[in-house]
Amino acid sequence: MTESTIWWLLAGAFVAVELLTGTFYLLLLSIGLVAAAIAAHAGATATVQLVVAAVVGGGSIVAWRGYKQKTPSVPASANHDVNLDVGEIVHVDDWSPDGTSSVKYRGAKWGVSLIPGATPSPGSYRIAEVVGNRLVVKKV
């Protein structure tokens, strides 16, 4: 069995384990294994292949961690990718003295509260977060 075949089998195994476990880092490491397989096809020595696998796989993990640290994380309750209600518009007719209200949204009655620091006034509001059955809104 050639060296490149071993690298391809290892890369395939890493991808299979990643699919079973959902560990994204195994996918990044498999990129390093693919790079080592390509280096083996190019005729590199075993030492160079190992270095290529380590540098590309480890480098992709370091690059991903750097990207994730620079990207601000949004809680699931305020993330549009998780909760499709975030970003939708509701109309609030009146507010109670404690800064809450209720609106009909998607065929049901929802409790509404303002984001901290906002002043209540009738009008259109954008949903900023969904907490249980309460919509946290901000003025449009």
For helices 46-70 and 24-41, give the axis angle rounded to 10 degrees: 150
- Distance (Å, whole) CA 137 – CA 89: 9
What are the counts of helices (DSSP H) followed by strands (DSSP E) for the chain?
A: 3, 5
Fold adopted by 76-139:
OB fold (Dihydrolipoamide Acetyltransferase, E2P) (2.40.50)
**What is the spatial distance between Cα 73 and Cα 56, in angstroms, rounded to a whole number?**
26
pLDDT attached to residue 122: 92
Give the largest CA-CA distance in the chain: 77
> What does the pLDDT profile of the chain (140 residues) look like in tens digits?
899 999 999 999 999 999 999 889 999 999 999 999 999 999 999 999 999 999 999 999 999 999 999 988 888 888 888 889 999 999 999 999 888 999 999 999 999 999 988 888 999 999 999 998 899 999 98
CA distances from 17 to 3, 7, 9, 13, 26 (A): 21, 15, 12, 6, 8
What pLDDT, on the 0 to 100 scale, is given for residue 54?
A: 97
Q: Where are the domains of the chain?
A: 3-70, 76-139
